Amino acid sequence: MLKLNKQNLIIIIFVIFLLVIFSYTFFDDLKPIQLSDELGFYQINTCSFSIMEFQLNNTHTLYQDHYNVRPYNYSSIECFGKITGIDRVKNDFFIAVGFNPLINLVLMTLLLSLLINTKKSRNNKFEILDINFFISLISTTFIFIFLIFFEQRFYGKSIRGLDLVSNIDLMTIAIYLVFCTYFLNYYFLKNSDNLINYFPYMYIFMGVVNGFNFNIFNIIFVFYFIYSSLKKVKYLKYNVVIFSLITIWVLNVESNDYYLDPDKIIGSSGTVYNQGSTFFWSIVFFYSFLGVFLFIKDNLININNPRLIKSFLNSGSYIFFIGFVTQKITILNALAFVLLGQNKPTTRDFNFDISNNWRGFSPSAEHIGEFYGLVLLVVGLSYLYGKVTLNYLDYIKLFFVLLGLILSNNRTAISLVLLVFIISLFKRITKISISSIFILCAMVVFIAIFINNQIYPIEFTSSRILSEANLRSLDTESSSLDFLNNTTGFLNRIIFFVVGFLSSIAFYINRSSLWGMFFARYNPTPLDFLFGTGPYNISKLYNEIRIQEEASFLLPHSSLLQLLLYFGLVGLLYIVFKIYRLLKVHIKNRSNLINLVLFVYFLINLIKSDSIFYFSTCFTLIFFYTLLRVENKLN
Amino acid sequence: MIDEIIKYCGEYPEAYKEINVTNSPDFVFENDPDYSPISLFDSEGNTVIVNSFVECEHYVGGGWNYDLIAKEFLNYTNLSLILLIILGIHFSYNKLLKKF
C-alpha cells in the first residue's frame, strides 16, 4: 500500500495542481455543450473551457477513436489547458488544447524534480548550493538562451508573444531557464548517488520539452559537466579538443540558413544550418555527452544490480502499458506527449498485426524494439546467470515486454535476442564452444534463406545502394554520388569492395533505399567529408540537394552514416577504432560477458537504426561503454 | 508582411501556391489536418481560429495580427517574477538551514 510519506505527498500535490490547471473553468457561468457536427459554439468560445470540463460533458471524446486531442503549443498562458478550437476533417474531430512552451518547461521541471527527489540519498544537500553551482547555473542558462536565439525561425512560431530579438524578452526566457536549471540540478545533485539505478525510466520520461528544440536532460548534463569541471579542473582539458573541432565546423558554414522541420527528432537536431546554431549545438552535444559520461563514471560504485535490472523490467512493461492506455484515452495521449516529453504522441493504431510495426509510446518501432530486446536480454541473462530472482509478477511483466518486441516487428532485435538465448542455453546444456554454436546458428539462417529462395546474385545486391541513389537523384548529383559513380583506378576497386559489401548488407536488412537516399543527398566538401558538419546537424543534408523522396520524413537509418555526417571520416574512424579497442581488450580480459553482449547487441542495432537521435538510447550506449571501459581498466 | 505571416502562421509550405481569395466571393477555406489550428486576434481583441496556412495567410494579411498576451494578468513577465520569488525562497530556506 502507498505510504503517505513526504515524497508521495508532494506527488499528490502535483497531481492536484495538474487537475486544477486542466479543470479550473468548472465554476464560471459558461458551460460546454454536447459536441455535434455544428462546431460554431466552440469556435466562438475559444479558451473558455478547460479540457477536463469539456470532456466530462462529452465523455465519448475520451475514448472513441475518431476524437483526437491535439496539443496546441502556441497559445497564451491564459489559454493553457483550455479548448482553443475544434475541427472536423471527414469523420475525425480534432480538439485543440492550449499549451505553452515556457509553462511546459516549468511543469516538466517540477515533475522531473519530484520524481528525482522521491529516492532517498546519502548526499549532503547543504554542500550543493556553492559558488560552482551558481557559475554552472549562469553558464548553462547562457548556452541555452543562445541555442534558442540562433533558431529564431523555429522559436518565432512556438514562443508566441515574445520577440527573440528583444533583450527584455530574452531576459524573460532566461528567467524561466534559470528557474528550471536551478531546480532540476539542485535535486539531481542532491540525489545523484542513487539515480543511476533508475536510468531505464528515461525511456518513459523522454524529456523533449514540448515547444522547445532541446531535451530537458540536456540541461541537466550540460550543467553537470560544467559543475564537474569547476570541481575538478582536469576536465577542462576536454574543451581544447571541443573548441578546435567547433572552430573547423563554424568556419566551414556557408550562411545559407538551411531550415529543417525536426519532426520526430525534435530535441536532437538543429533546425537551421548557421554558425551560431552549429556552435551552440556542438557545445550542447559535447557537454551533454561528457556530462553523461562523468555522471556514470562517478556513480558506477553506486550501481545496485538487482535494482537496475528491476528498473529495466519495470520500465519495459510500463512503456507497453502506457502505450496501450494512451492510445485509447485521448486526454492522456496529449498529456503524456507534453509532460513526459515524447518526441511524437503515442500512435493510436494498436492491434495484434505484427506487420504494423507498432511503436506505441515510442517515436519509432525500431527504438522501442531495441529497448524491449535489451530488457529481455538484461533480465534473461541475469536470471540465467543467477544474478536476479523473479517472482510471478515479473514473469507477467516479461510477457508484456516480449509482446511489445514482437509487435514492434524489429527483426534485428528479435533475431539477436533469439541468438543470444540460444547460445546461452546451449552453452549451459552442452560443452560446445560459443563460436561453434554461433557458426551453427549462422548455417541454420543461411539454409533457411536458401530454402526460401532469398539468395540473390552478388552483382545485384552489391549495387543496390548506388542504383537507389541514382534513381533518387533529380537534376543535381551530390558530390558523394558523383565520386562513387565516376572514380576510376585503384580507388575505384576499393570503393567497389566497400560500397558493394555495404550494399549487400543493406539489401538483406532492407536498407538499400534509405542508404541510397542518403548518398543521393550527401554533398560534402572535402573538409566536410573529413571532419563533418558538427553534431545534431542535418539541415544541410536535407536542403542542399533535392531528391525524389517519399511523402514522409525519412532519416538515414544508420548511426554510422550519422556519425559520418556529424564528424566526418576522421571522426567516424576514431570512434570505430575506440570501440574496436574497447571490445578487443574486454574479450582478451574475459571480463563480464553479460555487459559485453548487451553493448554489442546495442551496437549492431544502431548500425541500421536512427535510435541514436533519442537521449535514452545515447545514455544507454554511454552507460555500457563506460561500464566496459572501467572493467577493462580494473583488469 | 511576409515576416508577419511567418511569425503568426509558420513557414510557407513547400510548393506553396498563392490563392487570390478576393477574386472568388464563394471561396471556402479547406481544413488542413496537418496544420495545427492557430488563434489570431484583431485590434479589438476578437479572435478567429484558422485551420490551414492559406486561411492564416489571408487573415494575417487582413489585419488579424495582434498579440493579446500583454493584456493578460498571467503573462510571461508576471509569471517570471513569481518563479524568481519561488527560487529565492527555496534558496534562502536551504542556505538558512545550513547556518542554523
Q: Is residue A166 very low, low, confident or very high in pLDDT (cuts 50, 70, 90)?
A: confident
Residues B62 and B37 in one domain: yes
Identify the weakest region by mean pLDDT among A44-48, A507-511, B72-76: B72-76
H helices within A385-409, ranges in order?
392-408
Identify the weakest region by mean pLDDT among A327-341, A398-412, A498-512, A528-542: A498-512
Contact A78 B77 (CB under 8 A): no
Asked if residue A322 has pLDDT above 50, the reply is yes
A414 compared with B72, residue with greater pLDDT: A414
Percent of chain A residues past pLDDT 70, beyond the cut = 96
| Residue A273 three-state SS | strand
C-alpha cell at A635: 583488469
CB neighbours of residue A107 within 10 Å: 21
Residues B11 and B45 in one domain: yes
d(CA A259, CA A229): 34
C-alpha cell at A77: 498562458
Residues B36 and B73 in one domain: no
Residues B2 and B40 in one domain: yes
H helices within A125-166, ranges in order?
131-149, 152-158
Q: Which of B76, B91, B97 sits opposite A161 (nearest CB)?
A: B76
d(CA A199, CA A311): 8
* Angle of the A365-384 helix axis to the A593-607 helix axis, nearest 10: 170
Closest listed residue to residue B87, CA positions, set A127, A230, A116, A110: A110
Domain count, chain B: 2
Q: How many A/B residue pairs have CB atoms within 8 Å?
A: 98
d(CA A83, CA A60): 16
Three-state SS sequence of A456-480 = CCHHHHCCHHHHHHHHHECCCCCHH
Residues B16 and B54 in one domain: yes
A580 compared with A87, residue with greater pLDDT: A580
Amino acid A6: pLDDT: 65
Asked if residue A144 has pLDDT above 60, the reply is yes
Contact A77 B79 (CB under 8 A): yes
Spatial contact of A376 and A405, defined as CB atoms under 8 Å apart: yes
Q: Is residue A373 very low, low, confident or very high in pLDDT (cuts 50, 70, 90)?
A: very high
Residues B59 and B79 in one domain: no
Residues B59 and B78 in one domain: no
User: Which chain A residues have a beta carbon less than 8 Å from that of B47?
Assistant: 46
Residues B8 and B31 in one domain: yes
Distances in whole angstroms, Cα of residue A230 to Cα of each of A219, A237, A412: 17, 12, 43
Residues in CB range of A92: below 8 A, 6 or more apart? A66, A67, A68, B33
A510 compared with A4, residue with greater pLDDT: A510
Contact A77 B74 (CB under 8 A): yes
Closest listed residue to residue A288, CA positions, set A237, A208, A220: A220
Percent of chain A residues past pLDDT 90, beyond the cut = 46
A437 compared with A486, residue with greater pLDDT: A486
Amino acid A306: pLDDT: 92
Which residues of chain B register pLDDT less than 70? Answer: 22-25, 43-46, 67-74, 97-100
The predicted model scores a pTM of: 0.87
Cα torsion angle, A75, A79, A82, A87, sign: negative
Per-position b or e across A47-84, b if 16+ CB within 10 A of its CB: bbbbbbbbbeebeebeeeeebbbbbbbbbbbbbbbbbb
Asked if residue A459 has pLDDT above 90, the reply is no
Tell me which residue range forms the domain holding B37: 1-67
| ipTM confidence | 0.84
C-alpha cell at A183: 531546480
CA A572 to chain centre: 21
Amino acid A526: pLDDT: 92
C-alpha cell at A285: 552535444
d(CA A32, CA A47): 11
Query: Nearest 5°: phi and psi at A500?
Result: -65, -45
CB neighbours of residue A263 within 10 Å: 13
Identify the weakest region by mean pLDDT among A30-34, A132-136, A557-561: A30-34
In the DSSP assignment, the letter for residue A533 is S
Amino acid A349: pLDDT: 82
Asked if residue A605 has pLDDT above 60, the reply is yes
| Residue A511 three-state SS | coil
Domain residue spans in chain A?
A: 6-98, 101-302, 306-455, 458-557
The residue count for chain B: 100
C-alpha cell at A34: 454536447
Identify the weakest region by mean pLDDT among A89-98, A215-224, A258-267, A434-443: A434-443
How close is the nearest chain B Cα to the Cα of A486, in Å?
A: 32
Residues B58 and B74 in one domain: no
Q: Confirm or reject contact between A92 and chain B (CB < 8 A).
A: yes
pLDDT tens digits, one per residue of A113-140 = 988 887 777 666 667 888 999 999 999 9
Q: Confirm or reject contact between A467 and chain B (CB < 8 A).
A: no
d(CA A280, CA A152): 14
Contact A89 B94 (CB under 8 A): no
Closest listed residue to residue A154, CA positions, set A144, A169, A164, A167: A164
Asked if residue A505 has pLDDT above 80, the reply is yes
- End-to-end Cα, chain B, rounded Å: 60
Q: Is residue A11 very low, low, confident or very high in pLDDT (cuts 50, 70, 90)?
A: confident
Residues B53 and B17 in one domain: yes
Contact B76 A162 (CB under 8 A): yes
A521 compared with A590, residue with greater pLDDT: A521
Mean pLDDT of all residues in A546-552: 76
d(CA A493, CA A480): 16
C-alpha cell at A600: 554489442
Q: Confirm or reject contact between A276 and chain B (CB < 8 A).
A: no
Mean pLDDT of all residues in A440-460: 78
CB neighbours of residue A105 within 10 Å: 22
Residues B43 and B87 in one domain: no
CA angle A248–A251–A252, rounded 5-degree value: 80
d(CA A46, CA A49): 8
Q: Is residue A1 very low, low, confident or very high in pLDDT (cuts 50, 70, 90)?
A: very low
d(CA A292, CA B7): 36
Mean pLDDT of all residues in A8-14: 74
Identify the weakest region by mean pLDDT among A85-89, A398-402, A524-528, A615-619: A85-89
pLDDT tens digits, one per residue of A53-82 = 888 888 889 899 889 998 888 787 888 888
Contact B80 A176 (CB under 8 A): yes
Q: Which of A46, A89, A161 sits opposite B33 (nearest CB)?
A: A89
Asked if residue A286 has pLDDT above 70, the reply is yes
Residues B74 and B52 in one domain: no
- A82 DSSP β-pair partners: A50
Closest listed residue to residue A472, CA positions, set A538, A554, A539: A554
Mean pLDDT of all residues in A394-414: 94
Per-position b or e across A348-366, b if 16+ CB within 10 A of its CB: eeeeeeeeebbbbbbbbbb
Mutation target vs A (from B38, B59, B71, B82; most A CBs, 10 A cutoff) = B38
A41 compared with A138, residue with greater pLDDT: A138
The bridge status of strand A67-72 relative to strand A92-98 is parallel
Three-state SS sequence of A204-231 = CCCCECCCCCCEHHHHHHHHHHHHHHHH
C-alpha cell at A9: 505527498
| Residue A92 three-state SS | strand
